Amino acid sequence: MTSKTDVIVIGAGVVGLSAALALQARGLSVTVIDREGPAAGASAGNAGAFAFTDILPLASPGILKKAPKWLLDPLGPLSVPPSYALKIAPWMFRFWRACSPARVAHSTVAQTALMDLSKAELEPFLAATGTLPMLRKDGNLQVYESQAELNASLPGWKARADHGIEFRHIGAEEMAALQPGLAPRFTHGTFTPGWYSIADPKLYTIALADRFRANGGTLERAEVDSLIPQDSGVELVCRDSITRRADRVVLAAGAFSHRIARSLGDRIPLETERGYNTTLPSDAFDLRMQVTFGGHGFVVSRLSTGIRVGGAVELGGLDMPPNFKRSEAMLKKAQGFLPGLKPAGGVQWMGFRPSLPDSLPAIGAARATKRVTYAFGHGHLGLTQSAGTARLVADLMTGATPAIDLTPFSPQRF
């Protein structure tokens, strides 16, 4: 059996569905294929933030200073299971190289350009897809346990100030006014008023899927093994034995994308940052905004569906079973940091964040054919950068000049 359409998007997460909707808006017929269906991966369980102020790459000298201490704690903000250490060593070496000052400066310029584009595209995209009421602008509070911890963060805030990002450093009294209930151990904070979030990331992604279908799009559940370039298009080899063909393909399958990209000759060093969280009932705490406990590697977010306690990084690949002791450890810390937090009734989750060593996504054509466009590897920033990435994919697919320079995001840069 064979089917054909203008564009097939592989991946029904927030990046894939955003790209599919942007392509529909350019007049193309689009089919989306996903191995599990809409919002099945990281798009469902993320913290719900549009973190446009996070212009600094994760790969940086600052993370190198924190990493040794964090790695000593198997349930801490950063861990590598011993059984996976050898396999991830080449990725870690690339990450270490990306932390040099020159490379960080290069990545920051690229990250900032994509953030600015994504912020500019977001509200028009939400309006066009009927999801604008889900947008929140509550701000973010980053908290510190000492003046020394705040001082260590200042270079990053200076980089944001140089880019015109609004924030203010505050003391314990103003912190308590903005977010009552913080433990007294937090003596300093930074409030970012221009921090956006979505009511619930899973409901948002499902709403995008519904709009895509309403626009005439087709959503199919299938697992794609490989792509075969042809003179007149691209053939998809899928496990359901249905041969699918399209004029063009967008590969936005998150943490699984690199496996499919290999069939086109691209060996992209994509790794999986396994993130954990617990979502508590909405009355678990009077949370006014997202609170970031940066020294401990997690956040607490207010969603329309509950209070989400999550974050951390476990570099453990796609196949190891979840270690929900990590979720429990974060929840226990959150109880100490927010003494009024009620921990009962939570739902645990683990998801795969697709991450490249330099903290930039892969956006651009495959090595073997320009008919395939890659859009994956956004790490912690898939939701944040989804509208901007959708714009870029639509530009590439329709022959328009991309809105920003895509050289830093080249899939072949490795």
Residue 132's φ and ψ, nearest 5 degrees, are -60, -35
Q: Is residue 313 part of a domain?
A: no
Q: Is residue 218 part of a domain?
A: yes
Q: Are 41 and 351 in contact (CB under 8 A)?
A: yes
Tokens representing 67 are: 């990493």
Q: Is residue 161 part of a domain?
A: no
Please state whether beta strands 224-230 and 271-280 pair in parallel, antiparallel, or not at all (unpaired). Answer: unpaired
| The residue type at 304 | S
Q: For the domain that residue 124 is a member of, what is the CATH number?
A: 3.50.50.60
Q: Is residue 188 part of a domain?
A: no
What's the pTM value of the predicted model, to 2 decimals? 0.95
Q: Are 390 and 19 in contact (CB under 8 A)?
A: yes
Q: Is residue 306 part of a domain?
A: no
Q: Is 187 helix (H, G, I), strand (E, B) or coil?
A: coil
pLDDT in the model for residue 72: 63
Q: Is residue 48 part of a domain?
A: yes
Q: What is the DSSP letter of 378?
A: B
pLDDT in the model for residue 1: 42
Domain tally for the chain? 1
Helix ranges restricted to H, 2-100: 14-25, 42-45, 61-71, 85-98
pLDDT in the model for residue 60: 77
Domain ranges, residue 226: 1-60+100-134+196-270+356-414
Q: Is 126 helix (H, G, I), strand (E, B) or coil?
A: helix
Tokens representing 402 are: 């991309």
pLDDT in the model for residue 3: 56
Q: What is the DSSP letter of 216?
A: T
Q: Is residue 27 part of a domain?
A: yes
Distance CA 28, CA 394 (A): 10
Angle between helices 101-128 and 14-25 (to 10 degrees): 60
pLDDT in the model for residue 45: 92
pLDDT tens for the chain, residues 1 to 414: 455 689 999 999 999 999 999 999 999 999 999 999 999 989 999 999 999 999 988 877 777 677 777 776 777 778 888 899 899 999 999 999 999 999 999 999 999 999 999 999 999 999 999 999 999 999 999 999 999 999 999 999 999 999 999 999 999 999 999 999 999 999 999 999 989 999 999 999 999 999 999 999 999 999 999 999 999 999 999 999 888 999 999 999 999 999 999 999 999 999 999 999 999 999 999 999 999 999 999 999 999 999 999 998 899 999 999 999 999 999 999 999 999 999 999 999 999 999 999 999 999 999 999 999 999 999 999 999 999 999 999 999 999 999 999 999 999 999
Alpha-carbon distance values, 103 to 94, 99, 160, 205 (Å):
11, 7, 18, 33
Q: Is residue 334 part of a domain?
A: no
Residue 121's φ and ψ, nearest 5 degrees, are -80, -20
